[in-house]
Structure 1
Amino acid sequence: MNTETKPKLGKNIDILSVAADYKGCINFPSFFAMCLNTSACLNKPSDRFAKGGLREKALESFSNGRLRWIDQEGRDNHDDILKLDIEFKTTKLKTKTGKNKKFVSARLKNTMGDNATCSIKNPADIYMFGGCDGLVICDYKTLEPYLHMSKDALTCKIPFEKVTQIAFASDYDEEIKVKMVATKTVDYVAMRQKMEMEFLNNFV
């Protein structure tokens, strides 16, 4: 008897409609300005989770709470209106010359060794990729053929034409510049270090 657990089938999702909806509900100048502000200071391996976590929480903050941060296994946000679970992965979408990359590549999850299967048993409804230069999405049906298993991780390498654009930072150049000037003294690392010292001082 075959006891292997098969991946859950995804919902039938109108991905173009979802992308258009998110383009209207997310404050992109604020999102991209925050990503740019923190990208330079959060580039150490130990900062990877902090950077990703900030962007996941930013989706909630800059969508007026709609894309609620849930931080669960295999999903980071939940769309409270469309009732969709979202997994967000930070990755570059543009080349140094500003062209779309040929592939959208991301590390989806760490594995426990070679026994892992090249699939996701409980996939999210929406997979969102991007960061400083833009945001794109796809559903699991689109993602699945482009999953790859390495020795220690499940990754994806999706042809760019297979994902659906929500927005690119280049669409908001002037607004982002204004935000960057207004927030140039905002230092996330310094604020975090100050908070940590204040916390530790409670135990002195």
Structure 2
Amino acid sequence: MQPKTALILGASGLTGQHLLDLLLNDPLYVQITIYVRKPVHISHPRLVQQIVDFEQLDSSVDATDVFCCLGTTIKKAGSQDAFKRVDLIYPQKIAALQLAAGSQKFLVISAVGADANSSIFYSRTKGQLEKALTLLRYPCLCIFRPSFIMGDRAERRVGEKIGIFIAQLISPLLIGPLKKYKPVSALALAKSMQDSAHHSLNGTHIISSDKIKSFE
């Protein structure tokens, strides 16, 4: 394979941290750029940290592969509008900037049940992002639709923890079409993204939880 460059959005988050570690140890990536609001305490000769204001961002970087791990909660964001900016507006804007700059692959974390026409705000927002990214016509677009993402988060998400607990209890019963609802680890999700970056061909690819789980 040819040497590649990467841009990671959300590198300080649960999945983003795992992904950054994987790519820094991946010899195919000669440079990894991360957009952060404040510096992360990692030093590596192939790592470039860019402190950015996502509201003002209007430039691009050298990146053959763009990994989007941006995501928040309405509680943390403070409102539905603020949530939408993080989970829809910023990824869409950066995807367009990077496509114009020559990026070949865009790999994004969406969610199971994403549907632009859903009556559920969260699912509708994720669906709107998928639709917007599809319309950009990236040479290769990989959309990851995990169910609950397991791992040690910095912030408390009580509702999510309850959901994960229930999902883990009933996981053995999730077979056939229900396999897409199986919870997955953040590390497995990051590994799945890395693998897709190396092996996915041109076109749009949907990676569901059951496929992500195979990396655990």
Normalising by structure 2, report the TM-score.
0.27
Q: Which has the larger radius of gyration?
A: 1
Normalising by structure 1, report the TM-score.
0.28
Kindly indicate whether structure 1 or structure 2 has the higher relative contact order, using CA contacts under 8 Å at least 6 residues apart.
Answer: 1
Higher strand residue share = 1
